Structure 1
Amino acid sequence: MRKIQLKELFYDLQTQMIAKLSTNRRSIAHPGAKGDASELNWIQWLKDYLPKRYCVDKAFIIDCDNNISDQIDVVIYDQQYTPFAFKQDSVIYIPAESVYAIFEVKQELSKEYIEYAGKKAESVRSLRRTSAPIPYAGGFYPPKPHNNIISGILTLTSTWTEPLGKSFEEHITSLPDIQRIDIGCALQCGSFKVDYNVNPIAIEKSTQEESFIYFFLKLLMELQKLATIPAMDIECYARALDSI
């Protein structure tokens, strides 16, 4: 039987992504354009490799009470039980019920950007999410409770001498609950996954060589744990109309 080296395939994917983001950083002078290019690279990569049940876009998140989040660089969301995302030209509005995960994309991992990503997470987690009963042949399943929305940060490198060392740990664990960052990747340095369900808080980290694939596989594991998103209560959104 022929064999294939999965590890080498994973490393090749990481090399490709680092090359793309490093080229953007060197060749694009305007900070906004550089950030846009990085976001598009992450979005396209996740679209290519995540299971097709997940949608990935840059978007604003909205709720049925007319509240709106900050614009989120990368949103992983569902369109099976929350069947509509509003698109106005290149701007996308996604119902809060549909969101699995959100990510802030920056060039570097730093105290400033960790705090910034935490505030972005708060703007989404503060929104109201509905949950409707799900009909089946024998009746209705009760409304499903909402899971925590996964929050993360994606960068090329880190500003710290020890990229995921003590300073990083202090800042990532000091965020308020609603701003917590669950997972992240600094491509040239390493990736991390934070477990807030233990005391003290535990932080798992990858090696530098396996930062990209570690992040992706850990993200897949977390998405699997969330299973299917709860069904949104469409009637709550319909009440925005005068006729309903």
Structure 2
Amino acid sequence: MDIRKIFEAISLELSAKFQKTIQIKHNGGKGDNRENAFVDFLKEYLPNKYGIGRGEVISPENEISGELDIVIFDKDHCPLFLKSDSHSLYPRESVFGAISMKSHLDSDELKDAYKNIASLKKVMSTQDFTDSFAPGMVTGLSPVVPVTAIFAYAANRSLEAIAKQVNDLDKELDNINLRPDFVVVLGLGIVGPNGRIRNNFNMYNLPNDYDNLSLLRATGRHTLLRFYMQLLDELNSITQPKLNLHSYFNMPSRVGEHKVRNHDQLIIRFDGEEKKSVRRLTLAAIDKIIQNSKMVTLKEHFINHLGRLPLDAEEMYDLSTFVYEYNPMNKPPIQILLNENGRPVADVNTFQPLQVEIDGNKYAIDANSINKDDFEENPDFTVTELMSQ
């Protein structure tokens, strides 16, 4: 049996299906048929643990990738937040790789595909994590860098010209890790490293020089086989972190151009209202808070808020981190008073901060320096629903 002959025949079948799509006049129809042929190949030849779909990838920080032609995901363990044949939404912890599909790989198409691949890699976590592969053993792992490729059925130029443009595009990147792993032209060859990129513990090790990154391999009729072998080798080297669905439920919301967390589940009753309701800060309020907040260290914030450092604060916190305080009236640290029933209440004339996250920064917002106009009703929750969480 000759594996090369088998994949050569598959390659000819894909090329034939591509030629059929040329007869379809509608661009969308061409793209769907072109991708479907390659999707069918991947579904048939990749192990069952790998699902194949199309759509966007989302992070717990509410960052979303561009539209990806082919997404390779873990269908055994991770759910899809939105599922359809034409578009799905994948949590980043489920994603093993992505492929940008092209008919003819001209200069503009290659640039566009580079941006598309970078949009995926930018939403992936950059944090190390741990996993337990055996009882009593915990292993440290590097963050996942998904396997990425640009796959074209044909090109209107030489592989040498493509390799040169790949080299130029790599040099334009602020972060070389955002590049696609491979650029593949069916029946022509592969541009990219010829050795393993991912090693043990998810380590992602690109060659140090640009020439090896854009290495030209004129694999001809054996291109599909060589790409398949390298793709599967890289996919099988990845260990994914566990999916924490709670982090997605509590992801920051997009408010205008901002990403905001903990601003939209506030149970409030203003004077004159019969009952409490769930409210959220408006975009205008968020802009006002950002413009009028002062950056202080966490140590300074404790003193501004409590009048002193909490017990064992040096051991429990990194006091050099920053907090943005919204305290426009420069109220003094919080004071506790007793009401007519002898119950403790906070003095409204002192600094009583709400903790909100805006664009990844921690904000401490004096609760009595924002008013009814700074809020709007939040239809996503009722008081009962919030109290039942």
Aligned to 2:15: 18
**Cα drift, residue 189 of structure 1:** 2.1
Report if aligned partners of 2:4, 2:222 keep a CA contact under 8 Å in 1: no
Distance 1:133 1:188, change over 3 A: closer
Q: Deviation per CA, 1:57-78, whole angstroms, max 9, x where unpaired? A: 1111111122211110001111
- Between 1 and 2, higher relative CO (CA 8 Å, sep ≥ 6) is seen in 1
Aligned to 1:168: 162
Report if aligned partners of 2:11, 2:187 keep a CA contact under 8 Å in 1: no
Say whether residues 1:84 and 2:79 are aligned partners.
Answer: yes
Aligned pairs for 1:1-244 (under 5 A) are 4-25=1-22, 27-81=23-77, 83-90=78-85, 91-129=87-125, 133-134=130-131, 138=135, 141=138, 144-160=141-157, 162=158, 164-165=159-160, 167-173=161-167, 174-175=169-170, 176=173, 177-194=176-193, 196-202=206-212, 203-226=215-238, 228-240=239-251
**Cα drift, residue 134 of structure 1:** 4.3
**Partners of 1:200 and 1:118 in 2: CA distance:** 16
- Under a length normalisation based on structure 1, what TM-score does the superposition of the two structures give? 0.85
**Cα drift, residue 131 of structure 1:** 7.0
Report if aligned partners of 1:97, 1:231 keep a CA contact under 8 Å in 2: yes
**Partners of 2:112 and 2:192 in 1: CA distance:** 18
**Partners of 2:124 and 2:2 in 1: CA distance:** 46
Q: Deviation per CA, 1:10-47, whole angstroms, max 9, x where unpaired? A: 2111111111111212x111112101111111111101
- Counterpart AA for 2:165: H
Report if aligned partners of 1:22, 1:156 keep a CA contact under 8 Å in 2: no
Q: CA RMSD in A?
A: 2.5
Distance 1:41 1:110, change over 3 A: same
Distance 1:188 1:134, change over 3 A: closer
Report the 3-state secondary structure (helix = DSSP H, G, I; strand = E; otherwise coil) of the residue aligned with 1:70: coil
- Counterpart AA for 1:156: Y
Report if aligned partners of 1:192, 1:215 keep a CA contact under 8 Å in 2: no
Q: Where does the alignment leave 5 or more consecutive residues of structure 2 unmatched?
A: 195-205, 252-380
- Counterpart AA for 1:85: L
**Partners of 1:200 and 1:73 in 2: CA distance:** 27
**Cα drift, residue 149 of structure 1:** 1.8
**Cα drift, residue 200 of structure 1:** 4.2
Could you list the structure 1 runs, at least 4 aligned residues long, displaced by more than 6 angstroms after superposition: none
**Partners of 1:137 and 1:185 in 2: CA distance:** 38
**Cα drift, residue 54 of structure 1:** 0.8
**Partners of 1:170 and 1:103 in 2: CA distance:** 21
Report the 3-state secondary structure (helix = DSSP H, G, I; strand = E; otherwise coil) of the residue aligned with 1:87: coil
- Counterpart AA for 1:212: L
Q: Where does the alignment leave 5 or more consecutive residues of structure 1 unmatched?
A: none
**Partners of 2:94 and 2:211 in 1: CA distance:** 28
**Partners of 2:210 and 2:225 in 1: CA distance:** 27
Report if aligned partners of 1:103, 1:117 keep a CA contact under 8 Å in 2: no
**Partners of 2:124 and 2:150 in 1: CA distance:** 23
Residue-pair matches, total? 235
Task: Tell which structure's C-alpha radius of gyration is larger.
Answer: 2
Q: Deviation per CA, 1:140-177, whole angstroms, max 9, x where unpaired? A: 735632232222111111121x2x10x21222123312
